[in-house]
Amino acid sequence: MDTLLFRNARVIDPSQNLDRVCDVLCKCGKIAELGQNISCGDAVTIEASGLTLAPGLIDLHTHLRDPGFTEKEDILTGCEAAAAGGVTTLCAMPNTRPACDTPQTIAYILEKAANAKARVLPVAAITKGLQGETLTDMEALAEAGACAFSDDGVPVATAKLMADAMKRAAALDLPIFAHTEDRSLSAGGIMHDGAVAREISARGIPSAAEDVGTAREIALLLTADARTRLHICHVSTAGSIALIAFAKQQGLNITAETCPHYFLLHEEKLRSLDADYRMNPPLRTEADRNAVLRALIDGTIDVIATDHAPHTPLEKADFLKAPNGVVGMETSFSASYTALVQTGKMTLSELIRRMSLLPAQILGVEGGTLQVGARADLILIDEREAWTVDPKQLHGKSQNCVFKGCTLQSKVKMTVFNGKVVYNTLTKEQSYGI
């Protein structure tokens, strides 16, 4: 299946300001041609009339749990979930066992991902073992294939360590992905420190924990090497948004992400005492949710990621003791479409830009475009299809899905990765020969 021809799709590509009905030809893993009435005798033809074709999504923030926690997820199953959600490139965070803090662990991830259904880019640890004491050999990790550096899951322990990490990452022209949290404020908390936590007598995580962490990283960025690229992970508070807006006004090289659950849900979900709604940072107040939504629309928050974090049902069974985290790669596009495009708050082209083109630019990697010669990473979407999320039908190993039972609009019907179909729910009439 080296040649694919998509006929009469609505083709959206923000990198070319393209939104029109046309054909797309893929050959040898590349975009070969865009136009009308393309003819190619040896192509497998996909009749895409009524469907939307766009660049494959790029998820800057996932946890594949491999090595070390493969009962929750592994690289191959995580990429199965990615393919089902239209994600063709993902960043794998380093809080594995062992942590991704040596070239050998990066080599293991890349070798295992060689046959996966998405491109896996390892994020290397900032500190050895994520212990916050000693910086890793960042130069060796970059040479081995790290796409960024982060201690995600835990904040970098001291400002001095983070400042040193920023300096070394800047010299390598790789971004720092910052988990912004002051653990002296959040210690022991399991949900937002608000009305619901007080009512159910649960220890809370104050917004200030995130805000103080964000403020520290921005303060360091103010005096850092101009080449420093700082990316703030999983923004959930109005305070952090205000700080990021200030940093952008100062012309600092800062970007930020949020996740669909932060602009669709809020702390009231925790009244159910269902640990599937627990993550870190936690679901915040309705005011925070609205602030995240506004910041995403106005561009203060640049991209949508998932923080895909699988856990077993047994782990999630006890509300008070369960680990934080929710799965999200299979629902991220549809949830975002439902919240943003269906409501008229954002165009589909802009949503694709936030979930594909901008993430590629933040990483400085190929992707997020349908330009001729680019990687043939693309998705076919049915905007008309509404679907109800059933965790048992998800493609990863875990079911801790925050959108379970929700009816979402727009569905990924086919994912093409590197020119090969890796996910397909089209009818035989639409995709004969596949």
Q: Which of 59, 211, 276, 307 is catalytic?
A: 307
**Signed CA dihedral, 103, 106, 111, 114: sign only:** negative
Contacts of 349 (CB under 8 A, 6+ apart): 12, 14, 19
Q: What gap in Å lies between CA 312 and CA 77, rounded to an integer?
A: 14
Q: What gap in Å lies between CA 157 and CA 130, rounded to an integer?
A: 9
Active site residue 137: no
Asked if 12 and 54 count as a contact pair (C-beta separation under 8 A), the reply is yes
Asked if 254 and 247 count as a contact pair (C-beta separation under 8 A), the reply is yes
- Within 13 Å, how many C-alpha atoms sit on residue 313's CB side? 5
Six-digit token string for 405: 């039972």
Residue by residue, what is the 3-state secondary structure of the chain? CCEEEEEEEEEEEHHHCEEEEEEEEEECCEEEEEECCCCCCCCEEEECCCCEEEECEEEEEECCCCCCCCCCCCHHHHHHHHHHCCEEEEEECCCCCCCCCCHHHHHHHHHHHCCCCCEEEEEECCEHHHCCCCECCHHHHHHHCCCEECCCCCCCCCHHHHHHHHHHHHHHCCCEEECCCCHHHHCCCCEECCHHHHHCCCCEECHHHHHHHHHHHHHHHHCCCCCCCEEECCCCCHHHHHHHHHHHHCCCCEEEEECHHHHHCCHHHHHHCCHHHCCCCCCCCHHHHHHHHHHHHHCCCCEECCCECCCCCCHHHCCCCCCCCEECCCCHHHHHHHHHHCCCCCCHHHHHHHHHHHHHHHHCCCCCCCCCCCECCEEEEEEEEEEECCHHHCCCCCCCECCCCCEEEEEEEEEEECCEEEEECCCCCCCCCC
| Residue tagged 């592994």 (tokens) | 74
Q: What gap in Å lies between CA 81 and CA 415, rounded to an integer?
A: 11
Give the catalytic positions in this structure. 307
